[in-house]
Structure 1
Amino acid sequence: MTTDKDLREALADQITASGDLRTPMWRQAVLDIPRHEFLRDGFFRRTDEGGRTGWVPVRPEDPEWLRACYSDDSLVTQIAGTVVPTDMEGRIYRQPTSSSTLPSLVVRMLEELNVGNGMKVLEIGTGTGYSTALLCHRLEDGLVTSVEVDSDVSGRARVSLGHVGHLPDLIVGDGLKGHAAGAPYDRLIATCGVLNIPGEWIEQVKPGGQILATVGGWLYSSELARLTVREDGTAAGRLLGGAISFMLARPQTPPPLGVLPDMSEGEEREAAVAGDVLEDWTARFVAQLAAPGAQRFGLTGEEGTVDALLDVSGPSWAALRNDGGRWFVRQGGVERLWDRIEDHLIRWRKDGAPSLDRFLITAYPGGQTIAWPA
């Protein structure tokens, strides 16, 4: 009979082979911390029946539950901000709002955090508490503070952490504001995506300390960034690459699109950059730098299906269509979204289309810059 210990060893071997687990101390943490204890309320399995994405609860009595707990997969634990697997039977058609991140990514981030003995760590996004437990195993409970915006999620994590013998400082609050009462920290790690590095994080990490977070935007291309805090109150570093994706911090989720503009109006021209460039992760990240407020969606009209971009703050919009291999863009609103995106993409290509692990990031109170080397 396969035990959870066997499954932990298999998981450790798998993520060692992938290169994400690199050091003995983190391997021991993976072997000693039972992930299934953080999934006792179950998880949701995705289904796509009938062309719609739905979610079905999987609980501990289900034969697939334990083995799935030790798969290298993200497991959704909450839907629509409140619904957990124990709440329902059948299928739910809403958006996931909390999950247990795939272990290889959790461990990769912990390896990249470069923690040493005695360091104080602030974790943004407690989630199930599994990554918090790994941190406690490597350090000491009193050196780990974890902030979670959802009180119910935090409460379940507290129970799970207690079951495995760890009692870190768990805070319910807006993780984008950090936790000033426990500052200064040597390291800050975020297990949610952010649009920008908050100034509070920089203020609460010691000069020379590091921030590890996934930065992205509403076009849903994101990357892991590691920044070192400097004496002048800024932080700088680079993107680490790997097409990392997390749910955005709840206060930074995109606004509703509302009533769509009439995209048959506006001015049309042949596009200098084909619309399908947005299928490429790196190119989409570059486009996102040019139009950080833009959201992307498909739209079917008289001219067929178009790839549409809308910035509700303007509002400004662009609609791209493929006509026999030639791409055309129609734009309207206060700005020309695709003009800005094209300019960025053309400059990026002229500079050799560098990969994201060559991009540099500088954050400061009130903003940040991300640029590629020329």
Structure 2
Amino acid sequence: MTVMDSAALRQALAAQLAEDGALRTEPWRAAVEAVPRHEFLRGGFFRRFGDAWRPVPAGREGWLEHCYADESLVTQIAGSIVPADIRGEILREPTSSSTLPSLVVRMLDDLRVEDGDRVLEIGTGTGYSTGLLCHRLGDDWVTSVEVDAGVSGRASVGLGACGYFPELVVADGLAGHKDGAPYDRVIATCGVRELPHPWIEQTKPGGTILATLCGWMHASELARLTVGHDGTARGRLLGGRVSFMLARPQLPPPLGMLPDFDSGDERPARLGADLLDDWDARFVAQLAAPRVQRLSLTLADTAQHVLVDVEDGAWAALSRGGERWTVRQGGPVQLWDAVEDHLLRWQADGSPALDRFEVTITPEEQRVTWPQV
């Protein structure tokens, strides 16, 4: 590998992102052309092979080219395992990654930073997006918070190799970083089910928060919010089906022992579970049942589409017979009733696209609504 190799790959990546419409402004193109992504991947990464992950060490043939591909590269598995720890395959879930560059630069552009803006980044990750922010604004204007000390340490090494020295903080990013507040911009590179109010409190009135609102049914959208003088934040979803790993404190609880799906009350379903295969519909369903997890099971040779709220014990199991769906529900609330009601109202209003949804966050609640007919 030579400096010329990586410089040419950075130029090619910037050209590709610009052609694809992800890289829309000259300052961010200059950042992509200047910041070497491979410096943040010196520890290697994992690639998926079937159901398993295999390590790709730095320097292996093809490693450098993958560093400059527009793809997410997993850098940590199961909360602590890095590529150097594995000599074969691993079947656990990813917990940290270098996000695909097109999404990184799209978000940075959507953040609408200006010279002199102080930025708080939630989720340092590999440090690549932090490096882009440093190139655009300067080290003194960038603070990045990461919950994992090992991840933050590796990011610090990568940033230092590039000549960037922002303030890096090891802490729970959901609490922000009040010592550096107030900020002009807050950007989260992890998903959140509920946007933490400290982010709003630490943002100047008129400032911007850019974050991905997620749910445990795995539909998520980018939201851009403006902070008001009254301590609220309002804005809209931006659309585009953005997906990030959830912030660790907001991950769903273990399913544990499942309920007895032969109990409960059965009725014909007004809507079938196959509707949840649609991203927009699933996001709407999450608004009605924000603590629900979705899974598929086969019970007595019948496919069951199951929704479970572990915290309060509510559940719904749907099965299909021909063109008809049946739902059986148990627990303190009727989950599928709530989901059906919400989806039917959305359909009655013309099934508006998610980029028309409005978000309002106060100290008391997070509300996501769509325009009504």
TM-score, normalising length: structure 1: 0.98
Q: Deviations over 1:156-200 (max 9, x none)?
A: 000100000000000000000000000000000000000111110
Asked if the contact 1:141/1:168 (under 8 Å) is kept, the reply is yes
Which residue does the alignment assign to 1:24?
26
Counterpart residue number, 1:231: 229
SS of corresponding position for 1:3 = helix
Residues 52-71 of structure 1: CA deviation (Å, up to 9, x unaligned): x1100001231121111011
Give 1:223-372 correspondences, 5 Å limit: 223-372=221-370
Partner of 2:70: 72
Question: How far apart are the structure 2 equivalents of 1:64 and 1:267?
Answer: 56
Q: More deviation in 351-360 or 302-311?
A: 302-311
1:122-177 residue CA offsets vs partner (Å, 9 max, x unmatched): 00000000000000000010100000000000000001000000000000000000
CA distance in 1, matches of 2:262, 2:321: 16
- State the shift of 1:303 in Å: 4.8
Q: 3-state DSSP class of the match of 1:133?
A: helix
List gaps (5 residues or longer) in structure 1.
none
Q: Which runs of 5+ in 2 are unaligned?
A: none
Q: 2:17 aligns with which of 7, 15, 18?
A: 15
In structure 1, what is the Cα distance between the partners aligned to 2:229 and 2:186? 17
Match of 2:187, SS state, is strand
Match among 41, 44, 47 for residue 42 of structure 1: 44
Write the deviation string for residues 222-256 of structure 1: whole angstroms up to 9, x where unpaired.
00000000000000000000000000000000000
What SS class does the counterpart of residue 292 from structure 1 fall into?
coil
Instruction: Answer yes or no: is 1:221 the counterpart of 2:219.
Output: yes
Query: Structure 1 residue 356: deviation in Å?
Result: 0.3
Look up the equivalent residue of 1:46 and give its one-letter code.
R
Confirm whether residue 88 of structure 1 aligns to residue 90 of structure 2: no
The letter for the 2-side match of 1:54 is A
In the alignment, what sits opposite 2:158? 160
C-alpha offsets along residues 87-118 of structure 1, whole Å, 9 cap, x if unaligned? 12100110100000000000000000000000
Q: 1:146 corresponds to which residue?
A: 144
Q: Which residue does the alignment assign to 1:58?
A: 56
Deviates further, 164-173 or 313-322:
313-322
Q: Distance in 2 between matches of 1:325 and 1:129?
A: 50
2:47 corresponds to which letter in structure 1? R
**2:204 equivalent in structure 1:** 206
Supply the distance in 2 between the matched residues of 1:152 and 1:30 (Cα, whole angstroms): 25
| Residues 107-146 of structure 1 mapped to structure 2, 5 A cutoff | 107-146=105-144
Partner residue, 1:171: 169
**Hey, what's the Cα distance between the residues in 2 that align with 1:171 and 1:112?**
24
For 1:120 and 1:293, locate their aligned partners in 2 and report how far apart those are by CA, in whole Å: 34
Q: Distance between the aligned counterparts of 2:57 and 2:19, measured in 1?
A: 29
| Alpha-carbon distance, 1:3 to partner | 1.4
Q: TM-score, normalised by structure 2?
A: 0.98
Counterpart contact for 1:197–1:367, Cα < 8 Å:
no
Please, which of 5, 8, 11 is the counterpart of residue 3 of structure 1? Answer: 5
Q: Which moved more, 1:337-346 or 1:61-70?
A: 61-70
| Structure 1 residue 293, shift from structure 2 partner | 0.7
Q: Is the 8 A contact 1:122 1:185 kept in 2?
A: yes
Per-residue deviation, 1:20:
1.1
Q: Given residue 232 of structure 1, which amino acid in structure 2 is its aligned partner? A: D
Measured in 1, the distance between the counterparts of 2:158 and 2:52 equals 27
Amino acid at match of 2:246: L
Contact 1:198 1:365 in 2 (8 A): no
Per-residue deviation at 1:366?
Answer: 3.9
